[in-house]
Structure 1
Amino acid sequence: MKLSTWCICLLVVALSSGLSSRVNASDEPTHVAVAAYEFPPYYSSRLERHVLGALLDAVNQRQQTFYFEIIEVRPPHRYQALEPEGCCQLIFFEAEQWGWSSYIGTHVEKGPKLTEGADIHVLRAEEDTSEVSNDADGAARVGGIVGYHYDFVDYQSDVAVLEQEHNLYLADSHVTLINMLSRGRLHSILLNTELLAMLELHDPDVAKTLKAGKTVDQTYATHVLVADDAVVNVDWLRGQLDEMWEDGSLAELFASFGLENHLVYDPSPANVQAASPQ
C-alpha cells in the first residue's frame, strides 16, 4: 500500500471514530438531579426500597432522554437545593404549606398533585388515645423531625423555638422517634399516614406497637416541584405519569407500598388545565 493511500485510510478511520463518539455522546441521557430528604415511605436512606426510588427507576426505564438520580439533602436545605445555584432541579412529594409559598411562582413551578396524606399523633399501642391534644403548651413531650413543618406550632421550623418554647423533641429519623416512643421517652410522636400504611403492609410487628391518636395535626397534598432552570419541565413529567397511569403501573407501584388510598394523581384534561401556569 502506498504511503498516501495509507494516510487517507487513517484519516477516514479517525473521522469515523470521531463521528461515532459524538453520536454515542449525543445518545447519552441528560442527568437530572432530584432532591430528597428523610420522608418515609417516599424516601429514606434507611429503607431498601422507597416510593421515589421506585418511581424514578420506572421513569428511567421508560425513556432514554433523561436519567433521574437522587441527591439526598437535609430537610432544612431542600429549598436551597432548587435555587439557581442549587444542586438539584426538582423534588417530588412536597406540599406548598411546608415553606414553599415564596418559591412557587418565582423560580419554582408546581406540578400536578400526586398524593394526599396527614400528620397525626401516634402513641404506644397500650396508651389512651384520648389523652393526645394539639396544644403546644409543653404539657406532654411530642416527637417530630428536624426541618418538618407542623400545624400545631404554626409551621415554625426553627429548632430552638420548637424545643425550648414548645417542648418538641426533634430527631433526624422516624426510626428514632418510634424507638423513643416504644421506650416511653416520648408521650406521642408525629407520623404521616403513608408511613403507617407502609408499616402495616411490610412491618406489621412494628405497626402493632403503634396506635394512631384521634388528633390530626395537618392534612396535605403533595406535588412535584420543578426549578425554572431545570432541563426537564412539568409537562414532560406529566406525560410520563400519564403513561404510567394509563398502563396501570403507577397504581401498582403505590399499592406495593400500601399507598393505593393515598395516590390521587389525575391525568384528566381538567387536571392538566388546572396545573398549567396562568
Structure 2
Amino acid sequence: MILLASVLVLPAALSAPRPAIAAETVRIGGYLFPPFVELLDGQPGGLTLDLIAAINRAQSKYRFDFVPISADNRYTDLARKKYDLIVFESASWGWNPAQIATTEPLMEGAELFVALDQPGRGQEFFNDLKSKRLAALRGNHYRFADMVTDPAILESRFDIALMEDPGDCLQAVLDGEVDVAVMTGAYLNRLLAEVPEFREALLIGQTPDQRYALSVIGAASRRTLVEEIGRLLRQTLESPDFQLLLQDYGQLRKG
C-alpha cells in the first residue's frame, strides 16, 4: 500500500515572516524644571527622562524621544510641531485651552516660599513680598506675580532675580543675596531628604504660592494620542519598579 501525503502549500505572502511594524516616534518636550527635567553632568536628566526610559522598555508600539525646549518657547514650539507632547505640565501655565488637549493629572505639585530661618522670623515674613528681595526661575508662572512671566514686567513690580536653576535660587538665599526664593516643592523635598541639615537652616512657607496638577499636554488636534499616552504614562508611574524610583525624588504626590 502506498500512502500519499498531502502537502498544504501556503501562498508566499502568507508563509513569509511578517516584517516588524516600526514603532511610532513620539517626541516629549521638556524645559529645565527640576526634578522633572534637570541637567546632570551637562546632559538632560530627571524624572521625565527616567519615565521615558521606563515606558520605552515597557512597550514597543511607541518610541519616546526627549526634545529639549525652553520654558518661554514651549507654546510656539508645540504649535510648530517641534515636539508632540509635554509631560508634568499644568494647563494653567499660559496655555490656550482651545488649542490643547490634556489628560487627568499624573501628579500634584506646589511652589513654596523659602527664606533663612533667623531668630524672630516666622510665617509672617512671607506676607509682604514686594518689600523683599526675591529669587525665582525664569519663565515660570507664579501666583504672587499674577502668572506673568515677562522679565521686564516682573522686574518693574518686584525686586526680583530671575535664574535658570533652583539651586542658584537657594544659594542666593543662603548667601544673603535675596530674602525669599520661590521653589518647586518636589525639588525642595528631595533636597531636604538628601541634606537634612537644611531643615534647621531654612524657613519654609506654610502657605504655597500655588498648588497645581501636572498632566500631559499636546495639541488639540492630537487628543486621541494625548489620552492614550497619558494612560501609558500613568500605568508606568504606578508600576512597582517605578514606585521605588520615585522614592529617590522625595515626596512626590500622584494625581
TM tier relative to shorter chain: 0.7 to 0.9
Task: Give the deviation of 1:244 after TM superposition.
Answer: 3.0
Q: Distance in 2 between matches of 1:91 and 1:237?
A: 11
From the superposition, tell whether residues 136 and 126 of structure 1 become closer, same or farther in structure 2 (CA, over 3 Å). Answer: closer
CA contact (8 A) 1:37 1:75 kept: yes
Contact 2:31 2:69 in 1 (8 A): yes
Q: Deviations over 1:153-203 (max 9, x none)?
A: 111111001012222211111121111111100001001111111112234
**Is the 2:216–2:230 Cα contact (8 Å) retained in structure 1?**
no
Residues 29-108 of structure 1 mapped to structure 2, 5 A cutoff = 29-46=23-40, 49-83=45-79, 85-100=80-95, 102=96, 104-106=97-99, 108=100
Structure 1: gaps spanning 5 or more residues: 1-18, 265-278
Q: Partner amino acid for 1:53?
A: L
In structure 2, C-alpha distance between the alignment counterparts of 1:181 and 1:77, rounded to whole Å: 28
The CA distance in 1 between the partners of 2:153 and 2:129, in whole Å, is 12
| Equivalent of 1:129 in 113, 122, 128 | 122
Q: Is the 8 A contact 1:149 1:157 kept in 2?
A: yes
- Name the % identity: 24
Q: Is 2:164 the counterpart of 1:177?
A: no
- Structure 1 ranges of 4+ moved more than 6 A: none
Pick from 255, 263, 267 the counterpart of residue 254 of structure 2: 263
Q: CA RMSD in A?
A: 2.6
TM-score after normalising by structure 2: 0.82
What's the CA shift for 1:225?
0.5
Q: Hey, what does 1:163 align to over in structure 2? A: 155
Task: Find the aligned partners of 1:68 and 1:203 in 2 and give their Cα distance.
Answer: 33
Deviation at 1:258, TM superposition (A): 1.6
- State the AA in 2 paired with 1:36: G
Q: Which residue of 2 aligns with 1:188?
A: 180
CA distance in 1, matches of 2:82, 2:35: 23
- Map of 1:188-267 to 2, 5 A cutoff? 188-204=180-196, 209-230=201-222, 233-244=225-236, 247-260=239-252, 262-264=253-255
Secondary structure of the structure 2 residue equivalent to 1:239:
helix
Amino acid at match of 1:129: G
Number of corresponding residues: 237
CA contact (8 A) 1:110 1:226 kept: yes
Q: Call closer, same or farther: CA 1:99–1:198 in 2, change over 3 Å.
A: same
Q: Distance in 1 between matches of 2:206 and 2:223?
A: 44
User: CA 1:241–1:70 in structure 2 vs 1: closer, same or farther (change >3 Å)?
Assistant: closer
How far did residue 46 of structure 1 move? 3.9
Q: Deviations over 1:30-66 (max 9, x none)?
A: 3221111111111112478511111111100011122
Supply the distance in 2 between the matched residues of 1:68 and 1:194 (Cα, whole angstroms).
24
Aligned 8 A contact 2:29 2:85 in 1: yes
Listed as ranges, the gaps of 5+ residues in structure 2 are 1-15
Corresponding position of 1:7: none
Change (3 A) 1:143 1:116: same
Mapped to 2, the partners of 1:120 and 1:46 lie a distance apart of 24
